[in-house]
């Protein structure tokens, strides 16, 4: 019919138009791809947005610009000394001592590599869409491990403090409790982590030394139990005092060493206890013909009833020379009346601390 195009001819016409459109679209895509590829190639040394080095933002910068920024904002501050503080003490570590070195090229190269992660199309889409990476390159800071180890050991050596048990401060007439002191020990592994983190960071050059308190074995509340018995000997007043649980229990009159044979002063402990002891006579001039002999209990033995040894042959013993009590009359020992020494003997044990003033 006139004016009506055959279906076959219309299909042929439409098919030709589709082919032209397809060719044009492919051409546009090809041009876009070539342009995107060229753009990607042109950004091969540019760092993507959202990339940082040691917390320093280098996104959108060339490798050269990033190197300058890292040198200024990251590496230069690392030349400042590190301080470790503990209470009122400060310990200083300088970059010169540590021989600090920074691998700037390596850090920038890694930032560029991070920026080139993913395929070509992923990078292109990220660039077109304005998306950012979320990547922080760890600083590459090198230093002498030997110098760091020595510094950390020095901090611990100076800060560490052993705990001190509660004890007593004796006087001739009483015992005063001395409070315990807690010890301190540095948490060495954690301190190392903190200092190493500071070595990599321009913003944290002061480190607080982490410490733990160390409890003593004996507290003030427990000190009386540590001293169930305690003896003080006052040579000036010729008085021996016995304390039970830090409280005065009994006083005894004694004799002490004569001039030239002074009873030794200081803190001792009862070393041994004997009933009716044998006297092992010292090899001294004052012993005369008895020197070096062993005298069994009896009239010739001046050690009567009981013996409590203290130091170098000196000890507490009974005497029948009652008139010497209250004077400086012995050859170094502490003399007591027989009833008194027997009473004291039953009240104390080996190890009882004895302080002679």
What ranges do the domains of the chain cover? 227-356
Question: Residue 37 pLDDT more than 50?
Answer: no
Least confident of 87-101, 120-134, 258-272: 120-134
Per the CB < 8 A criterion, the answer to whether 247 and 225 are in contact is no
Average pLDDT value for residue range 267-282: 94
**pLDDT tens digit string along 150-177?**
999 999 999 999 999 999 999 999 999 9
Average pLDDT value for residue range 242-258: 97
CATH of span 227-356? 2.40.440.10
Q: What is the pLDDT of residue 287?
A: 77
Return d(Cα 178, Cα 175) in angstroms, integer. 9
Per the CB < 8 A criterion, the answer to whether 209 and 154 are in contact is no
Confidence of residue 129 (pLDDT cuts 50, 70, 90): low
Return d(Cα 126, Cα 118) in angstroms, integer. 10
Q: What is the pLDDT of residue 32?
A: 46
Q: What is the pLDDT of residue 1?
A: 47
Helices (H), the chain: 7-42, 63-70, 95-98, 104-115, 120-129, 145-159, 188-199, 223-226, 338-347
Average pLDDT, the chain: 86
**pLDDT tens digit string along 301-325?**
999 999 999 998 899 999 999 999 9
Give one DSSP letter per residue of 106-155, joined into a string.
HHHHHHHHHHT-S-HHHHHHHHHHT----EEEPP-EE--HHHHHHHHHHH
Q: What is the pLDDT of residue 36?
A: 44
Percentage helix, strand, coil, to 5, in the chain? 35, 30, 35
Per the CB < 8 A criterion, the answer to whether 198 and 318 are in contact is no
**pLDDT tens digit string along 198-248?**
887 877 889 999 999 999 999 999 999 999 999 999 999 999 999 999 999
Return d(Cα 297, Cα 304) in angstroms, integer. 8
Q: What six digits make up the tokens of 128?
A: 């077109």
Question: Residue 115 pLDDT more than 50?
Answer: yes
Classify 245 in phi/psi space as left (phi over 0), alpha (psi -120 to 50) or beta.
left
Q: What angle do CA 222, 228, 233 make, to 5 degrees?
A: 120
**pLDDT tens digit string along 42-89?**
455 788 888 998 888 998 899 999 899 888 887 887 778 999 999 999
């Amino acid at each position: 019919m006139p004016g009506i195009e055959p279906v076959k001819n219309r299909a042929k016409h439409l098919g030709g138009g589709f082919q032209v459109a397809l060719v044009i679209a492919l051409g546009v895509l090809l041009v876009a791809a070539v342009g995107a590829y060229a753009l990607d190639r042109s950004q091969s040394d540019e760092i993507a947005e959202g990339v940082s080095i040691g917390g320093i933002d280098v996104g959108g910068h060339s490798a050269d610009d990033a190197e300058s920024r890292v040198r200024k904002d990251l590496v230069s501050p690392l030349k400042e000394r590190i301080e470790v503080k503990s209470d009122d003490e400060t310990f200083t570590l300088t970059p010169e001592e540590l021989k600090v070195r920074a691998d700037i090229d390596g850090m920038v190269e890694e930032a560029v590599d991070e920026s080139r992660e993913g395929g070509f199309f992923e990078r292109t889409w990220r660039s077109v869409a304005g998306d950012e990476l979320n990547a922080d390159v760890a600083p590459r800071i090198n230093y002498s491990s030997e110098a760091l180890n020595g510094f950390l050991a020095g901090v611990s050596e100076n800060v560490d403090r052993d705990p001190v048990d509660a004890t007593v401060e004796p006087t001739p007439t009483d015992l005063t409790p001395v409070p315990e002191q807690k010890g301190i020990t540095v948490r060495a592994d954690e301190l190392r982590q903190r200092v190493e983190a500071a070595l990599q960071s321009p913003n944290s050059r002061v480190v607080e030394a982490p410490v733990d308190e160390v409890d003593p074995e004996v507290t003030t509340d427990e000190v009386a139990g540590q001293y169930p018995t305690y003896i003080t000997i006052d040579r000036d007043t010729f008085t021996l005092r016995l304390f039970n649980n830090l409280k005065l229990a009994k006083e005894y009159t004694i004799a002490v060493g004569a001039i030239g044979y002074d009873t030794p002063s200081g803190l001792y402990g009862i070393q041994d206890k004997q009933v009716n002891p044998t006297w092992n006579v010292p090899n001294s001039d004052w012993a005369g013909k008895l020197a070096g002999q062993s005298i069994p209990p009896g009239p010739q033995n001046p050690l009567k009833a009981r013996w409590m040894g203290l130091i170098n042959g000196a000890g507490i013993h009974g005497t029948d020379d009652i008139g010497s009590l209250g004077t400086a009359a012995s050859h170094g020992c502490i003399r007591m009346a027989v009833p008194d020494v027997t009473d004291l003997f039953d009240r104390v044990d080996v190890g009882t601390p004895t302080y002679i003033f």
